[in-house]
């Protein structure tokens, strides 16, 4: 009888201690790595970016209220496809960035929506991945859009469907790198973080994958690797 009471007391104490930890420290669930960033919550405003059309659309409560012409990344340094949110608002970073900057939570680099001292680039694929706007437009957008607003950048993570995806090697960054890391991880070759940064650990994992499939162990993601990983038919 005393033993049962003792066990019951220990169970109650464990539950009580767990509740204290939950309240004081906060509950922090563990999630598996996502293959692409996903933003669930929506505020009053959200932004849709259509790189092929060179358009940025602002929506309020889901209704389109503004459309701007933009410049986006060139094929070798593409604008990151996916769902992000605005996590930083800055002013006057320098002439190349215009008067305002809206920073995105892209995991593999500093990407954002900003102005430019090259207005002729608007309507073209000429940036290094960021979204360029005319200076008067970014100033208007900056004042309109609050921190935390969702930004959806449309397109295929491997690039324009009418062209082959780019070859990838150490030093490259992007959603395509993140996708390769995710596939290598699922296959048991990669143990790092799927952060879209092609570093030495990604190279090592890729070379092991190439070795096991009797492919050239050069650490380069070619069309053959995309096919082997089931990303191309």
Sorted by sequence, the CB contacts under 8 Å of residue 122 that are 6+ apart come out as: 54, 69, 70, 71, 116, 132, 133, 134
130 is known as an active-site residue? yes
Among residues 46, 54, 125, 130, the one annotated as catalytic is 130
- CA-wise closest residue to 164 among 232, 210, 219: 232
Residue written as tokens 């409560």? 61
**CA 39 → CA 104, 105, 119, 192, 227, distances in Å?**
12, 10, 31, 22, 29
- CA-wise closest residue to 157 among 32, 29, 35, 9: 35
Among residues 46, 114, 125, 194, the one annotated as catalytic is 114
Sorted by sequence, the CB contacts under 8 Å of residue 13 that are 6+ apart come out as: none
| Residue 121 near residue 191 (C-beta atoms within 8 A) | no
Which residues are identified as catalytic?
Answer: 114, 130
């Amino acid at each position: 009888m005393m033993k049962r009471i003792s066990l019951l007391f220990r169970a109650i104490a464990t539950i009580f201690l767990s509740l204290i930890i939950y309240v004081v420290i906060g509950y922090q669930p563990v999630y598996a790595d996502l293959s692409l960033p996903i933003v669930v919550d929506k505020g009053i405003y959200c932004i849709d970016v259509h790189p092929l059309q060179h358009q940025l659309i602002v929506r309020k409560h889901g209704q389109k209220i503004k459309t701007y012409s933009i410049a986006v990344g060139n094929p070798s340094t593409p604008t990151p496809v996916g769902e992000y949110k605005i996590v930083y608002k800055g002013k006057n970073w320098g002439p190349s960035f215009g008067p305002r900057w809206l920073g995105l939570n892209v995991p593999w680099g500093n990407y954002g929506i900003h102005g430019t001292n090259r207005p002729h680039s608007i309507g073209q694929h000429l940036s290094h991945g960021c979204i360029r706007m005319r200076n008067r437009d970014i100033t208007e957008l900056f004042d309109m859009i609050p921190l935390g607003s969702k930004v959806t950048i449309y397109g295929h993570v491997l690039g324009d469907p009418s062209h082959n995806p780019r070859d990838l090697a150490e030093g490259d960054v992007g959603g395509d790198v993140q996708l390769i890391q995710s596939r290598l991880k699922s296959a048991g070759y990669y143990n790092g973080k799927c952060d879209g940064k092609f570093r030495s650990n990604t190279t090592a994992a890729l070379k092991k994958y190439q070795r096991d499939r009797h492919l050239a162990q050069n650490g380069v993601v070619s069309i053959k690797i995309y096919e082997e990983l089931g990303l191309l038919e």
